[in-house]
Chain A
Amino acid sequence: MSILKADYITIRFGGLTAVSDFYLNLEEGELVGLIGPNGAGKTTVFNMLTGVYKPTKGEIYFNNKEITRKRIDKITALGIARTFQNIRLFTNLSVLDNVMVGCHLRLKSSVLNAIFYLPQYSQEESYMREEAEQLLKEVNLENLKNNLAGGLPYGEQRKLEIARALATRPKLLLLDEPAAGMNPHETKDLMIFIQRIQEKFKLTIILIEHDMKVVMGICKRILVLDYGKTIAEGNPVEIQHNPEVIKAYLGVEAHYA
């Protein structure tokens, strides 16, 4: 079943076409990689899928419902969560609070209910806390739950950001360069971690990554963007031998030189 369909979306900023006619039909449970040279428009695609930018042309469907012009937080509530290329944690909040913010969108109690700490709210609060602690256990951060998020080491911050995204109970998770700045050992752990959470939470994942070992290692299908255009699509082996891709990454063909 198709979970996400980007129907030839295009976005222009003034005269610049950042992404043109991007098409993606994502089946449930897939793990798709999105690669391309710097400035190819990968993060812009994420921003359109999550509602940060509205496409100039084309529609986006999530679970067969159009979400093209919906508000960012509404899209998150429908089940699309993301992480950011440059980590964006709530640095002055505790690790646990960071994850609990992700649970906030399911809160049913009203503000007054929360202020007077009525039974309905106190129950919801304890459920949220339980769920957040469970997620922290999942990413091995439960011992650090009372620390400030800004004080965590880089790799842990990446994991916390994923835990926070999972707290919104997404069906589709968008990971923007999760391995950036990690050493080979951490990267290996991350690959196993991504596959584990995909299975455990029944996620569909789109992954932007520059580290080819990660992309080739865990993605079944890869899309290559260059200058906003999709220049190739296929499984890792096909992508590695695609002349267009080699050209995009290594520059002009050899015989010009």
Chain B
Amino acid sequence: MKKVKKKSNYLSLKIIAILGVITFIFIAQRSFDAYVIRILNLCGIYVILGVSLNLINGFTGQFSLGHAGFMSIGAYASALLYMSPELKEVNYFITPIIWPLSVIQIPFIFSLIIAGLVSAGVGFLVGAPCLRLKGDYLAIVTFGFSEIIRVLFCNLQSITNGPLGLKGLPSYTDLWWTWGIAILTIWFIKNLINSSYGRALKSIREDEVAAEAMGVNLFYHKVLSFVIGAFFAGIGGALLGSLVMTIDPNTFSFFMTFQIIIIVIVGGLGSITGTVIVGAAFAILMEVLRSVESPMSFFGLNIPGIPGMRMLIFSILLMIVILFFHQGLMGTKECSWEWLYHKFGRSKKEIEEGS
């Protein structure tokens, strides 16, 4: 009886949270200025990318450096589908685009889903042979994959428009999309890792030999995690493409993977909560720290603006986290509804007792 009551309480907590988010998006979308909305959008996208990479790196323990490659595939796949034929003609002025792509135009939502599926398909093709490798070797191979995609997209002019990239993409990405999909991603991956499949994934991270001896099909589960991670990375890439409204193969360089790796490691390998917090903080810090790249003067000492100073600060932060918080900010801990409820319930009780 007590249990039922508790459950309904979590439900009400969830409803409150969802309503809160919806109200917030509604207000933000109407009254915040474009700059703030853009940062909030980036928060959502980094959360999608961070959580999906955490599934592969943190929960399954397969160190992948291929996220930028999947994002690139997703961004191009969706852009080629939602761009209007006229826009394509303008963009592809050197080498015309090949036939079926030149006339196709589908709604944004379908292009997102297809972007995810294409990315997941490539994830399977890459993962199936590569996931036999472990540790550093897997990292090198997935990094290589990401570079191959970049070079390939630079040279497939009749499909990707090569290094010229795609410009003037319609801006579909808004807070409804980014935050909505971010919440969906968190929900999906949280349910996955709390299920029996999730336990199997974590057992692979803990001890591959023992997991296999307990009947866990290593190949199936590793590829499963890789494909799901790639699916959401593809969608994240697609959202990012429509947000910045221009993509070229070099947008998705190793630099991009590195940013997401920072988010996952600082947040804690194996903690969705940590990834969400750090993902959002990262997007905000990236903007706030722009000030360190502008010319400054300290006590009469003039420092010229140095582009890239932000990344120096992030690198130092990463080193501090690795040295002093070995497991990232959250380790493998999660902030659950239950925890929130107890926190909430206890503070309410304390207030009652106090009054």
Pairwise interchain contact A89-B207, C-beta atoms closer than 8 A: yes
Residues from chain A with a CB closer than 8 A to the CB of B207 are 88-91
Report chain A residues within 8 Å CB of B217: 71, 73
- Most B Cβ at <10 Å: residue of A52, A81, A102, A111: A111
Q: Is the interface of B mostly helix, strand, loop or mixed?
A: helix
Give chain A nearest CB distance to B224 CB in angstroms: 6
How many Å from the CB of A162 to the closest CB on chain B?
12
- In the assembled complex, A82 has its CB within 8 A of some CB on chain B: yes
With a cutoff of 8 Å between Cβ atoms, the chain A residues found around residue B209 in the complex are 52, 84, 88
Determine the distance from Cα of A52 to Cα of B209 in the docked complex, in whole angstroms: 9
Cβ of A73 and Cβ of B188 under 8 Å apart? no
A81 to B214 Cα, complex, angstroms? 7
Across the interface, do A105 and B216 meet the contact criterion of CB distance under 8 Å? Answer: yes
The number of chain A residues touching the other chain, given as a range, is: 35 or more
Which residues of chain B in 306-355 are interfacial with respect to chain A, using CB atoms and an 8 Å cutoff? Answer: 332
How far in angstroms is the closest Cβ of chain B from A167? Answer: 8
* A92 contact set on B, CB distance < 8 A: 202, 206, 270, 332
Known: A88-B207, A115-B192. A101 touches B199 (CB 8 A): yes
Q: Is the CB of A102 within 8 A of B214?
A: yes
Q: State the CA gap A77–B212 with chains docked (Å).
A: 11
User: Which residues in A have their C-beta under 8 angstroms from that of B199?
Assistant: 93, 97, 100-101, 104
Pick the residue among B191, B212, B270 that contacts A72 (CB under 8 A).
B212
Contacts of B213 in A (CB 8 A): 50, 52, 72-73, 76, 81-82, 84, 88
Query: Which residues of chain A from 90 to 129 have any CB-CB distance to chain B below 8 Å in the complex?
Result: 90-93, 97, 100-105, 107, 111, 114-117, 121, 124-125, 128
How far apart are the CA atoms of A125 and B214 in the complex, in Å?
Answer: 17
Closest to A117 in B: B191
| B195 is an interface residue with CB less than 8 A from chain A | yes
Residue of A with least CB distance to B188: A115
User: B200: which A residues are within 8 A, CB to CB?
Assistant: 101, 104
User: Is the Cβ of A101 less than 8 Å from the Cβ of B224?
Assistant: no
Question: Is there contact, CB below 8 Å, between A91 and B206?
Answer: yes
Main secondary structure of the interface of A (DSSP, over half): helix
A20: interface (CB < 8 Å): no
> Is B218 among interface residues, defined by CB-CB distance under 8 A?
yes
Q: Is the CB of A89 within 8 A of B210?
A: yes
Judge whether A168 is part of the interface by a CB distance below 8 angstroms: yes
CA distance A103 to B196 in the complex (A): 9
- A121, B195: Cβ atoms closer than 8 Å: yes
Binding site for A on B (CB under 8 A): 188, 191-192, 195-197, 199-200, 202-203, 206-207, 209-218, 224, 270, 332
Known A72-B212, A84-B209, A90-B203; 18 more pairs at CB < 8 Å: A72-B213, A73-B218, A89-B207, A89-B210, A91-B207, A92-B202, A92-B206, A100-B196, A101-B199, A101-B203, A101-B214, A105-B216, A111-B224, A114-B191, A114-B192, A115-B188, A115-B191, A121-B195
Taking Cβ atoms with an 8 Å cutoff, the residues of A that contact B are: 50, 52, 71-73, 76-77, 81-82, 84, 88-93, 97, 100-105, 107, 111, 114-117, 121, 124-125, 128, 164-165, 167-168
